[in-house]
Structure 1
Amino acid sequence: MVSGSSGQDLSYLEKYNYFHGPMPLNLKEPADMEEAIEEMQDFLGLPVTGELDAETMAKIRGPRCGVADFIGPRKNSKLVRRRKRYALSGQKWSKKSLKYSIKNYTPDLPKSDVSRIMKNALQVWADKTPLTFTETSRGSSDIDILFARNEHGDGYDFDGEGGTLAHAYFPGAGIGGDAHFDDDEYFTHNSYRGTNLLIVAAHELGHSLGLAHSSDENALMAPYYQGYQQGFRLSYDDVRGIQELYGRAPQNKPKPPSRPNTPNRPPQRPEQPQWPEQRPGQPGQPDWPQWPPRRPEQPPHRPGNPELPPHRPGNPELPPHRPGNPGQPPQGPDLCAATFQAAMHFDGMVYLFQGSQYWMMEENGVIPPGYPKLITSNWINAPTNIDAAITLPSTENVAFFKGNKWYEYRGSFLFRQGDLASLGLPMNVRRLDAALIWEANNMPYFFTGRDYYRYNERLGRVDRGYPKPITPNWVGIPGNVNAAFGYQGFTYIIKGQSYYKFDNNAVRAVAGPRDFGADVLNCRVRRGLLRAMNLKAGSGVDKYTAQLTTVLFSLIFTLGYLLLL
């Protein structure tokens, strides 16, 4: 097993803190080494064999961050799979406004590019938190950024090109928070060549803010370099971790200008295959997408409800990215008369779909000016008259469902597509009525007719025993619904122009059926305005009275809108 491996390969386990206890490497027992290899394989998402096999060796010899995968002393324990993927270092900044200083620059890129990249790398964290960052060239700073080669004064030498790309220190005094980059790497910008500095810097600065390595291979904070990604964004796992440390960004936090080196385009190369390929050496894995990321454990069954765990207070919102390039508002149906075909919670907003158009609803039911917009103005060549829509928490991508097909969009561009059977749904399911990611367990649920399905991302198929009837499992919710979305601990189910409010903690409807337009969209005033605008002189009210009524309702509506802002 271990005997055929080099000392360098085994020292990897020691360097990244997979061993339990301080015993020197040459005194480790074979059982200790096997346990360490198993923990490493489990953490990195590899088949757990306890051997340094070919797949494991290929992984550990790849470029990565120099920070250990486990922080602090290890306890003697058997292999335990973590349900929560992100990890915290136990250290954080006590203030929200931080200063950073770039001490020197790599010769690989212009200084202006390096400055902009570091600013953008910090901004991806600032966008999700109350944190703000200011670059300074004078006085003290919280985070020092340094490019260096080999030995550079901190006792953690770099190793030349490849291997360790960079390392950083968790928040604290002195060297705490500093980030060091191996200048033997060839750092690039907006290119698949070399090592993309933005990706590496955003990862290292995550450590500077207090995040440890994540075992979610899709997370930025996973230990291995993931390559250049156009349209790079934090994963759901990254957002959950940083918001556990610092909380969410306040709603009134100013938005920075668009980052020129993170365009809203798909992050994969054009030649990437349309379906995730099975990883070599890992037989039996399904070839359909895993939405959201696989969890190592099955949520516990709770009889008498939709087999969902109770709501976890403080569960953060799904990490957002609002699509750009809004189109001109088309002529379309009135919002308050619409019967929505699909809905989703996205970027802290609720998106409502009908026909070829959609509305974006802010808090308190406010619809900003310019809506409805064409679906295709934000999601290029997207289907219209969709049946359902969800935001995928693992990738922040949007998935539309129409008929027996689904379409996954990354930013504004189609990333991949497939049929419902590829997600493990039975062949007799020809369309969905609604879909949602249930906030309490972050799993996809599909509604069709009077039944619903729960998709198990770990097994890559619908769970055994499904479909189940919506009633009585979703207490108080009818069948044949139109749309659904989760928001702030509740699930909203739309049927026709009515809605039901489902408490995720009580696992039952607490309101409904109620008028969705009147309660959620503030349509009472708007409907009064529309009635006034439709008054005719021949209806028994002269045109001057009608015009005056219209003006009064307009003023009331405008005042109500301003009060809600």
Structure 2
Amino acid sequence: MLPSRHVRIWSINLVYSEKPKMNIDHEREEGDMEVCDRYSRMVVPTFCYKQTSGVDKCCSCRTYRKYVLQNMEFSFKTIVSVILLTLLLSPVDVECRAGAYKSAEQFYAERGDQMVSYLAEFGYLWDASAEAGPAGLTSMEAYVRAIKNLQKMGNIPETGVVDRRTIELMQKPRCGVKDVTKPAPLTRHRRKRYVTAPSKWETNHLTYRIDNVTPDLSSDNVRRIISDAFKVWSDVSPLTFTETINADAHILIQFAKGYHHDGYPFDGKGSVLAHAFFPGDDRGGDTHFDDAETWTFNSSEGVDLFMVAAHEFGHALGLAHSSNTEALMYPWYQGYVDGFKLPYDDVAGIQTLYGSKRDGPLPPRPDPTRRPTVVTPDDRDQGRDRDGYTVNPRPPPREPDDDINPCTHSIDAITVIRKEVFIFIGSKFWRLGINGISSSPTKINQFWYGLPEDGVDALYEREDGKIVFFKGNRFWMFSSNHMVSNFPKEGRSLTELGIDKEVKKIDAVFVWAYNKRTYLVTGDMYWKLNSKDDYIEYDYPRDMSIWRNVPVPLDSAFQHWDEKTYFLQGDQFWEFYDNKMRTRKKTGKPTAKLLGCRNGKLNSNLMALEKQDESSASNVQLLISNLVMLLICIHVL
């Protein structure tokens, strides 16, 4: 469907012909990401307009302009509009940028709703807030606590934010039984990993009945698999399991899709694979498998029935979920395991309920060392520890301050203050003005009295001219080179800005030219300060993946004289392209080039802002396009 006849761009009405047709999907230009997918890992700049059907259609900004120019009716009104459009292409870019930003806001709002739904479904939220979404939570503290409990169960870093690892955890297929059977505060003390349910069977001799089987496997195979799954538990306990055709069997086994009359409908392929009820009357012990899944046996393809059945029978016997990633009762599907043997954590749990089997030896106790969490690798993981970035990174060892040179060393912090660039490394800083180097390296705490002797992590200049410095989990505010009145000499805690106490340092701070707002970055998370710069906004932190191709963890970031944002890591820098919400190049360029260094030293001339080949080519194309449009208009007239 084509767009409606009137589309508003910067208060100009353009009229389209409905005869030409254009497949926007085939017109995406190289480098553009997939659009109209708010649930992808990143939100990209798009321009959206109404179709005649009333449905929003999205395409890249550049493609949209191409569509506008190709499909106009050349009426007098349109000719005037063309001329104005040629003169106002930059505002269209601003509109595109705004569209991307609003899409990002909507994306995170929807993701917050999904997060609350997930937390409620698996027992992490227990009040009316489960229906109200993040905005309806009784307190932000309750939301953060619920996320941390989820992260603790998943055995990933407990950041209290919906970061990349948390999203990956939520996307994994899993058991449908709640992880938390009753409200529980976040605790720091060590406890046993296995968890028992409130009930158990009063007899050790249990019966089970298979009501139906999946079409993915033969009836004989299903029965053999179910028997083997029960044997996992009978081998280490006095329990026995006997198949029966009687309707009053202790455990009823069923394959079903969607709603199946137990109050817990399945969600289709993926996500929830199966669920079971704890021992008790009525449905106690019953075990249900989602028949929308592709069930297999002894295969890494599809979903292995044996592994899922053995897990669900653990619930049917009285075991809850375990946060031990080695345990069978870990909530998330671990895949097919060749030669599976019940891990120690599960053995200890079942024997706590039913005792041990005299002729069944216990497996050896595993090494108590915590197994690192497996995270799907991607380009953003370069430079991180194997188990992912933590909120308290250890900085690499530095050379003595006397040997430090901004042209050859990574930069701790960099910003523009009153049209001068300040570069901070270790305990010293350098100043670069419009006319070049303003001074030799100076001790930081000899210029800004009261700052830590060993340097700063990040800083920025506020709109009111005050300068905010960050070091560790504290910050200081200065007016010129004097601390503001009544500001504590020891600084203030990051928690006063609304940042979680687990965050031990701020990696980078920058003011984004698009909205003039301040952003704080730690690892793969970032926060946005409110318009007063005194507290973080609601629904933050967020994942740095929105800033496409920006490396994490960052060393520093800043807005330069040209109002462009630059991100620095190691001896490389990346220029950010606001229109596409990504860096101009995937790979970084030497920071020495950004600083205008010559022969490994700062140049006495103006810092050399590199002009990107891509930007130059784009400007040439734009100029040619404008000239062509002007010639067309003259010809028509």
TM range, normalised to the smaller chain?
A: 0.3 to 0.5
Question: If the length of structure 1 is used for normalisation, what is the TM-score?
Answer: 0.44
Relative to its length, the structure with more helix (as a share) is 2
Question: If the length of structure 2 is used for normalisation, what is the TM-score?
Answer: 0.39
